[in-house]
Amino acid sequence: MPVFSEKGAKKFARLPIKINHSFQAIPKPNWLRVKALSTSEKSKRLMRILTEAQLATVCHEASCPNIGECFSNGTAAFLVMGKVCTRRCPFCDVAHGRPAPLDNTEPHRLAQAVKLMKLDYVVVTSVDRDDLEDGGALHYSRIIQALRATVRDIRIEILVPDFRGRLENALRILCQTPPDVFNHNLETVPSLYKTTRPGADYEHSLSVLRKFKQLCPDVPTKSGLMLGLGETDDEILAVMQDLLANKVDILTLGQYLAPSQTHLPVHRYISPDEFSKWQQRALKMGFKKVFSGVFVRSSYHAQDLMDCTCAM
């Protein structure tokens, strides 16, 4: 595999990914209105801190629709271990290719940035790093240690990849310095994994959540789904039941939005009322906390989980 620069990998990531371009695009409904990136002083200050610390956010790299709202509120979800992913999921807007070696200064730089930003809840996620023996688990652990040593009373959520082929070793490392919330997204229903998450496996992703819970039973676990990729209501319900059977506490449900015409197309737009009904149903099923809405993403309003986690 050739070595890509981050700029080159981003360009490479825009190449077609065996998408059915004969699919007829459906018009966007009027509820799809997002807040533009804020030019407030708080937003400018956050961007300045991130730039000076040479840190990336999933907000920018994955083209999150909530970037304007979150940056206005002075919050961000940090993307660590580089901006280049070893997977090539056709729903994702993060660059892919061969990533650079890990930067051992990143944990310190991130912790200092969080301190300057005066955050009390931080989300840390990463690209897939299938090139690393532990999938990046030790780097996550070092970030958690740096944050706890630098920021008093910080609460940390990690959104991890599936650690394919190295799960036991990765979870052993993470449970030595556990986060406050452990998040791994299933993303979609089993029937769509082949087209949506090539290289991933539904049962394996469930095992990530189950095995972490077995090792760290006091840490809340969290997972999320994108809706609108062609799944049925029965399939959504079945996945929710699987998550509960694997002791997952927190669920997020959001609308899939194609980043470009070279990504998987949207099959259906789910209305705000439908999302509300899914939230009510999920809570009745037994989830301790549910975020369900058109623009909900894994890290959206993640700090609101503090009340949930404190009560557990």
From the CB of residue 117, how many other CB atoms can be counted at a distance below 10 Å? Answer: 18
CATH number belonging to the domain at 36-310, selected among 3.20.20.70, 1.20.120.350, 3.60.15.10, 3.40.50.300: 3.20.20.70
Lowest mean pLDDT among 7-21, 266-280, 292-306: 7-21
What does the pLDDT average to over 195-213? Answer: 94
The structure's pTM equals: 0.84
Domains of the chain: which residue ranges?
Answer: 36-310
CA distance 136 to 180: 18
User: Residues 30-81: pLDDT tens digits?
Assistant: 877 655 555 566 667 777 777 777 776 655 444 455 555 555 554 568 889 9
User: Residues 232-260: pLDDT tens digits?
Assistant: 999 999 999 999 999 999 999 999 887 77
pLDDT of residue 19: 47
